[in-house]
Structure 1
Amino acid sequence: MTEHAPPRSREQRKQDVLDHLRQDEDAWVATASPDGVPTLVPLSFLWEDDTGTLVMCTRRTNPTAVNVTPGGPIRVTLGPTRDVVLIEGDARILEGTDLPTATKEAFAAKLSWNPRGPRWVFLRITPHTVRAWRESNEIAGRDLMLAGEWLA
């Protein structure tokens, strides 16, 4: 049996999640078509502290963008298998012209990539549930956000 570090406090886990959101560049994004066909793709992202949302960009024709419907569910995962952050939320598609200039500039600065033109769309993801765990001893306290509110 492998010995694990003691479980982190909720406060420490939340801080670790925010560190991932601010520092990581890529995440796995899962959606499903209306027929239930799953899609899983890696996308680069920007976390906006002021809005509490993730901003991603993909081709307009990518199944991830096609699958996003107003109020449609989306799942995003960050980190390796021994430091999982699982985010469930809603996504909406934004044209580049609908995204604030400051957000586009921050996206380009963080990722050294500035998508332009009609083939690209942005996804703004609003988290409703955030869970984080490292080992089995952290499964019980993995819920950090429920119904869009960070737990105390």
Structure 2
Amino acid sequence: MRKRRNQLPILPILIGILLVSFLLIGLRFFLFSSSTQAEDTVERFYQYEQEGNFSDSWELFHPYMKERFTKSSFIQDRAHVFIGHFGADTFSYEISKPLEFDKWKPEDGQDNFRDGYKVVVTQTYSGKYGKFNFQQEVYVVKYKGKWAILWDYNSK
């Protein structure tokens, strides 16, 4: 009679390694996909805005937007309009699912941006004039390897 050596079950170990590999690849794709990263950028922008941290939200703008507003004027305007005029200390917000675009320009006469995402952000305020919603189209494009925020200034 032969004694059988204890052998590791190789097939179940290989299957386990393959399943874990596929799971990690899938998780990486989901967590680090372009649309998820773009959505995270918009989320960060509005979290900063919600906290009244307009300096950090301004930093997430594309240079095109930074040309439209100096940092100091942006900070003053945001605080003045949303807190001063609306009488709202803070707001809640919802972000739509990102919609991919392959060509878009922020206003007539400007160059097209390629390959980005559009999201619709709805901010809800409760202030001295009651409860109201403010809805804005937000565009997110890559600039120097990072996602950056743009707003739509088209007249159409």
State the TM-score, normalized to the length of structure 1.
Answer: 0.26
> Which structure carries more strand by proportion?
1
Larger radius of gyration: 2
> Which structure carries more helix by proportion?
2
The higher-RCO structure (CA 8 Å, 6+ apart) is 1
State the TM-score, normalized to the length of structure 2.
Answer: 0.26
